Chain A
Amino acid sequence: MPLAPFDLPLKGGDRLGALSRLHMPSHFGGGETTKFDGNGGEDTTMTTPSLSAILMAPINAIMRIIDAPLRRLQKATGIGGMAAFFLAPNMLIFGIFVLLPLVINFVYSMTGGTAFFLSERDFIGGAQYSRLFECQNYLDPMSCQEDAFWTAVGNTFWFVVLQVSLMILTALITALILNRELAARSFWRAVFFFPVLLSPVVVGLIWKWILQRQGLLNFGLYQFGMDPYTWLTDRSWTFAATIGVSLWAHMGFYALIILAGLQAIPKDLYEAAEMDGTKPARVFWRITLPLLAPNLLVVVVLALIKSVQVFDEIYVLTGGGPGTSTLFLTQYIYETGFASALRNPGLAAAASILMGGVLVVLTLIQLGIGKRGENKGKR
């Protein structure tokens, strides 16, 4: 029986003697009969009972009861079967709560009508999809039948491109700075990570109160003699605000991942570069960046996937923004499917399948990168 960390050191024969008077069932200690040695447990082939052994007794009992049928199962199905058996509960939950709704949603997107339940809707094939794609000019949302959808797609596209690139840039710079020997480095690392811990609704509300007409920002501007401005009723500034708020809320998370990647770079490379008298910029481009590349790629894909799904902060901050300037895909799906009085759940289902398609592509890219990394390691 392996010694547990909290084994009591047994000294002297008295304790042993006292223990030996306890009635221990024969299966205690993993099925071996423990022989009590009067020498204080020197006998290495025989185990002496300890506190952990006593605590484990009921668990061992249960395990022995389960052991028998499982052994029979393993004999019948083999190791592969046992793997399936242990994966089954999780797969069941995954299947019921993820795969089944996905399939239902896909079927739903091919139905029409106003009833909510699938059984009461009419099958119309790809009509919802063709309605979404009915456009004279894909670059001009207003020429489309579902202009809100294409506005949301356009907004999401620009948000993703701008937010991810700015995010990676700021996270990289922050991580590089945090990697240096700063005073109170742990404090600074915590400070940058703090916004990540906040709930998205809290983030949205805080910034709404700062940016609104009578918010903190205008108050500050007024104190400095500048004119206050209605930031959240200006379409461009509101869009910029959504990117900024999203950056502020999530940058710490990616900075942390990149920081971990930076710390994994061996120090002797930097020492060698220093001995050669390499310029810092060259050190960055030739040593740091290439070795950080796999880490950065993962961060990029993660950030892309997360930014396509943006909703919480923005909905609280702008509610879709002046007009529809900060209406993103998730909010469009929510409003079309549920919230609006002009709701059309079939259309929302079709839009969500399309959005899911984009995310699947991004995820496959990430898996591909991961596989390539694995194969590299195998060499």
Chain B
Amino acid sequence: MKTRSLVAGLALALLTSTAAHAGDVRIMWYSDGVEGEVMKDLVGRFMKENPGISVILDNVAYSVIKEQLPVQLEAGNGPDIARVTAIKELSKHWLDLRPLVKDAKYWDDNFGSQADWMRPDGSNQISGFMTQITLTGGYANKTLFDQAGVPIPGPKATWEDWAAASKKVQESQQVPFAMAIDRSGHRITAPLLSYGANYVGSDGKPAPLDKGAKDYLTKFVGWADDGTVSKDVWVSAAGSTYRAAADDFINGQLAFYYSGSWQVANLATKIGNNFDWVAVGSPCGPAACTGMPGGAALVAVKYTKNQEDVATVMDWFAQEKIVKEFSERTLFLPGHKAVVDKGGLDFKSDNEQAKAALNVFVESTKTTSEAALKLPGWRWSDTVYAAIVTRIGQTLAGELKIDDAFTRIDADIAQKVKDAGK
């Protein structure tokens, strides 16, 4: 009798301690800038309106989302909701919210155009929504350009124009770096597309690097060799590790920084009044003047134990007024069709430069090429990005000749396609 009640008590204790409480929703969140605080505030408001659901916001570094979350998901674990950038690659792990949300049509209308970016090919599920639509684009240190007496190149300026202008600024102002691009395959894809590269083969699988891609990459390596493009960022890590060149720009040591719209809040906060900076859109290539769209999405994970609660949370955060408020406070471009159409976003920033920069990005969305719009929805994008970053990083470090790098990139991608084909 005694042992039986002991065992029963133990079992009960185990059940209560290991099972997720009904009403617990974990969100794995990363921040580029101030989104963490804004989310915390919004989560607090959500819990006040929905006392039965307890939302736990885990703020993690971006590298955790990139490197550890995929492993957790493969093991069938992970959070209930996550903010992820590799949404297509991991699309098999997302929960289908279509039967769970209050109004599926609302979701289709407002988030439909990016829904393909986060669901497996041919599926119709609703996985989540974009926390922001980002666009890659350049930032110029206006103060440095003015001091050097070099006019900032116009909207139709090419990559060569920018390289030449930044080099002049660098020589005149004695700053360490003229140009820098983040160590990211996604970022460097924008100039590749502007040079006419096409990643997608006729069978939907990756095609070998074509002339457009090779042209730009050869130029890029050449600029790194002659000191126009900062080597530091690309050479400071191995493999496909992400490194941003933001700190150099914030410290006023970089004339032209090619990154994206998500940096606006970060730059506004950190630079303050130290110098004038402007967003300049994406430089042109022979084929286009395009940036790469992207963004992080808030997606629901298939392995959650509280599907209804997760759907409630997602419905609340997807509301038009919440999306509008989130975008205004984080200085992000919203991914919600109604919010974008209505316009009139009042970005909460005293920083005039931030507001001007955001408007430049909104304008630049008009010149985004067709190819660029399709890539986030293509399942092999991340593979191609990783291969390019790894091999070009090695080329910049002097380990590979550029031609060998091209062969290796094609081989890496083909190998990954072959492995996944099993």
Contacts and interface: CB of A to CB of B under 8 A. Distances in A.
Interface in B367-389: 382-383, 385-387
A276 to B, nearest CB: 58
A342 B412 contact: yes
A130 B104 CA distance: 51
Nearest to B396: A323
B419 A320 contact: no
Contacts of A342: 240, 383, 386-387, 390, 412, 415-416
A133 interface: no
B74 interface: yes
Interface stretch (B39-47, B162-170, B230-238): B230-238
A233 interface: yes
Interface stretch (A1-9, A198-206, A247-255, A332-340): A332-340
Contacts of B241: 319-320, 339
B32 interface: no
A114 B419 contact: yes
B383 A114 contact: no
Interface stretch (B105-113, B116-124, B353-361, B397-405): B397-405
B318 to A, nearest CB: 28
Interface in A313-367: 318-327, 331, 335, 338-344
A235 interface: yes
B155 interface: no
A122 interface: yes
B223 to A, nearest CB: 16
A214 B386 CA distance: 29
Interface residues of A, number: 35
Contacts of B396: 323
Interface in B58-95: 66-68, 70-71, 74-75, 86, 89
A12 interface: no
A252 to B, nearest CB: 29
Interface in A112-142: 112-117, 122, 142
Interface residues of B, number: 41
A163 B237 CA distance: 22
Contacts of B86: 341
Interface in B225-274: 231-232, 235-241
A339 B419 contact: no
B196 interface: no
B393 interface: yes
A102 B174 CA distance: 56
Given A113-B419, A331-B238, A338 B387 contact: no
Contacts of A339: 66-67, 239-241
B62 to A, nearest CB: 13
Contacts of A343: 70
Contact of A325 (B240, B386, B399): B399
A113 B422 contact: yes
B420 interface: yes
A229 B239 CA distance: 25
A347 to B, nearest CB: 9
B398 A235 contact: yes
B50 to A, nearest CB: 34
A312 interface: no
Contact of A320 (B68, B232, B237): B237
Interface string A126-167: 000000000000000010000110010000000000000000
B394 interface: yes
Contact of A232 (B236, B238, B382, B408): B236
B385 A341 contact: yes
A238 to B, nearest CB: 9
A213 interface: yes
A335 B232 contact: no
A268 to B, nearest CB: 56
Contact of A341 (B68, B240, B408, B415): B240
Interface in A179-195: none
Contact of B422 (A122, A230, A326): A122
Contacts of A331: 238
A233 B239 contact: no
A213 B382 contact: no
A314 to B, nearest CB: 10
B176 interface: yes
A291 B389 CA distance: 54
A321 B236 CA distance: 6
A327 B238 contact: yes
A128 to B, nearest CB: 11
Nearest to B71: A338
Nearest to B237: A319
A321 B390 contact: no
B161 to A, nearest CB: 27
Nearest to B416: A342
B86 to A, nearest CB: 7
B239 A323 contact: no
A213 B397 CA distance: 16
A320 B243 CA distance: 13
B337 to A, nearest CB: 30
A230 B232 contact: yes
A237 to B, nearest CB: 13
Nearest to A145: B411
Contacts of A147: 408
Contacts of B385: 341
Interface in B207-236: 231-232, 235-236
Contact of B239 (A112, A114, A142, A320): A320
A331 B239 CA distance: 10
B99 to A, nearest CB: 27
Contact of A112 (B238, B394, B412, B419): B419
Interface string B339-355: 00000000000000000
Given A147-B408, A323-B399, A335 B419 contact: no
Given A324-B394, A341-B382, A116 B399 contact: no
Interface centre among A232, A323, A341, by most B CB within 10 Å? Answer: A341
Contacts of A113: 419, 422
Contacts of B408: 147
Interface of A: 112-117, 122, 142, 147-148, 151, 213, 230, 232-233, 235, 318-327, 331, 335, 338-344
Interface of B: 66-68, 70-71, 74-75, 86, 89, 176, 231-232, 235-241, 382-383, 385-387, 390, 393-400, 404, 408, 412, 415-416, 419-420, 422
13 contacts: A113-B422, A116-B71, A117-B74, A233-B235, A233-B236, A320-B237, A323-B235, A323-B394, A323-B396, A323-B397, A331-B238, A335-B239, A344-B419
